[in-house]
């Protein structure tokens, strides 16, 4: 059973995560956080050492939701191609999935934190490596099970695939046009069928 303090901490993190994700570390003021939570500045700092600790906890919360969703898609029954297509179907509607998160935490935090919060920037880079590693594992298993053939090592292919997805997410976000996401995913599915399917 959770304590009142643990419930308060969880409430704060869940409530401020989309605020930080939308406005960025510097762009989010303490008044934004107190307004969102309905708590005082003292109550927020009673649960977190400082704004940086709160921002990092908020990022980890958002990324936890994203990684769980990716794991669900990559752990479906079937061969490596079915797992890859499960992932591309998820990314086709990624902008809808990330609405409650305040947008893509990898993109938003990764770009925002580059010059103003090294800890958050490092966390975003680690997230990218983790996701690429998950995709690479599916690809490696596919090669080992003779389901697919790759023109490059699995991790390199995973990095290229994820780069294309993140580029589509960036364009969708900047232009507010889901066609970037839909068309890129459709192209990736054609590429997978043409280039690596046995």
Domain extent listing, the chain: 4-195
> How far is residue 14's CA from residue 188's CA, in Å, rounded to a whole number?
33
Q: Provide the whole-model pTM.
A: 0.94
Between CA 14 and CA 30 the distance in angstroms is 16
Q: Give the pLDDT confidence of 47-74 residue by residue, as tens digits.
A: 899 999 999 999 999 999 999 999 999 9
pLDDT at residue 2 above 90? no
Nearest to 64 by CA among 139, 2, 123: 123
User: The CATH number of 4-195 is which of 1.10.357.10, 3.40.50.720, 3.30.590.10, 3.40.50.300?
Assistant: 1.10.357.10
pLDDT at 1 over 70: no
pLDDT in tens, 150-190: 999 999 999 999 999 999 999 999 999 999 999 999 999 99
115 CB-contact burial (10 Å; exposed 0-12 / middle 13-18 / buried 19+)? exposed
- Measured in residues, the chain has a length of 198
User: Which pLDDT band, with edges at 50, 70 and 90, does 146 fall under?
Assistant: very high
User: pLDDT tens digits, residue range 73-107?
Assistant: 999 999 999 999 999 999 999 999 999 999 999 99
């Amino acid at each position: 059973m959770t304590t009142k303090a643990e419930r308060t901490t969880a409430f704060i993190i869940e409530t401020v995560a989309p605020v930080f994700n939308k406005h960025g570390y510097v762009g989010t003021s303490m008044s934004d956080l107190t307004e969102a939570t309905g708590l005082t500045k003292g109550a927020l700092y009673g649960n977190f050492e400082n704004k940086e600790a709160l921002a990092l906890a908020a990022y980890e919360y958002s990324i936890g939701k994203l990684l769980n969703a990716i794991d669900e898609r990559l752990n479906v029954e079937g061969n490596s191609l079915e797992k890859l297509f499960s992932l591309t179907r998820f990314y086709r509607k990624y902008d809808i999935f990330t609405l409650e998160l305040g947008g893509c935490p990898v993109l938003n935090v990764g770009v925002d934190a580059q010059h103003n919060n090294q800890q958050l920037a490092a966390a975003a880079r680690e997230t990218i490596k983790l996701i690429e590693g998950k995709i690479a594992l599916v690809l490696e298993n596919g090669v080992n099970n003779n389901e697919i053939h790759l023109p490059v090592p699995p991790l390199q292919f995973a990095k290229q695939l994820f780069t294309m997805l993140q580029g589509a997410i960036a364009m969708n976000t900047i232009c507010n046009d889901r066609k970037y996401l839909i068309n890129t995913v459709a192209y990736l599915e054609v590429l997978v069928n043409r280039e690596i399917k046995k």
